[in-house]
A and B are shown apart, each in its own frame.
Chain A
């Protein structure tokens, strides 16, 4: 009984981060929420597969990712275009600039191979260790490290970040230049 309560509490705690991860996987908020819901139900039905003493959040992420891989991946092509429904969920950020930066960043992220993207997000945003991310993705720790490095390099390239002071007053000019690069990449 204690485990059931723990699992529910862990689920509630993990939902915000699971949603953020799911959105980054499938790119669409409604589908991401469906994915999270399915993952929660599956986790509940397979509670026996949780090993006490291990990270419950990582376990939930693993289930969500596997679910996405097995059921949602086929459909990814059609969900690729995301901006509309994603933008709707974002009410307002205080600064126009950070709004623009996030949209630009999210678009850049979409250009990464999915393995690189998920590795970078798990380590850089979800707060998992390389070891935990490797467990979630079912691969070696070295593979995660290499994917994260590649993802960072590629992002720096796409966003043309070459110094910390780069997000300065010339953003608009840069955005125009970048959109050309991005377009070339896509075609």
Chain B
């Protein structure tokens, strides 16, 4: 089915992806026994970027109205405590 469509790219894709995929999988299983692996700065950067992206998704939602109201009422003597 996809033979025709991928004819040009198929060889490069296979050469590029499959062997490295196998290596990565082996790597992951093997290092299971050695939890601390020395990581290069690029991997740290990659993880850092993912973390901030994930965290930023929530941060970008700003302050929901619920919290604006709660914080506003804190100093209201009638609502002291809750």
A residues sitting closer than 8 Å to B (CB atoms) are 4, 8, 11-12, 15-17, 19-20, 23-24, 33, 36-37, 40-41, 44-45, 89-90, 93, 98, 101-102, 105-106, 109, 120-121, 124-126, 149-150, 152-158, 160-164, 166-167, 170, 173-174, 177, 181
**B8 interface hit (Cβ, 8 Å):** no
Determine the chain A residues whose CB is within 8 A of the CB of B37 once the complex forms: 153, 156-157
Give the B interface residue count (CB, 8 A).
46
In the complex, besides A15-B71, A121-B55, A170-B16, 6 extra interface pairs with C-beta distance below 8 angstroms are A20-B56, A37-B66, A101-B50, A149-B36, A167-B46, A177-B21
**B39 interface hit (Cβ, 8 Å):** yes
Query: Which secondary structure characterizes the binding site on chain A?
Result: helix
Determine the chain A residues whose CB is within 8 A of the CB of B16 once the complex forms: 170
A-B contact count (CB 8 A): 134
Given contacts A12-B63, A15-B67, A156-B43, contact A20 B28 (CB under 8 A): no
Q: How far is the CB of A161 from chain B (nearest CB, A)?
A: 5
**In the bound complex, CA of A21 to CA of B61 (Å):** 13
**B51 interface hit (Cβ, 8 Å):** yes
Q: Are B46's CB and A164's CB within 8 A? A: yes
Q: Which of B21, B28, B44, B75 has the most CB of A within 10 A?
A: B28
**In the bound complex, CA of A163 to CA of B23 (Å):** 13
**B81 interface hit (Cβ, 8 Å):** yes
**B5 interface hit (Cβ, 8 Å):** no
Determine the chain A residues whose CB is within 8 A of the CB of B82 once the complex forms: 41
**Residue B57 contacts which of A45, A90, A121, A181 (CB distance < 8 angstroms)?**
A90
Given contacts A11-B71, A16-B59, contact A125 B52 (CB under 8 A): yes
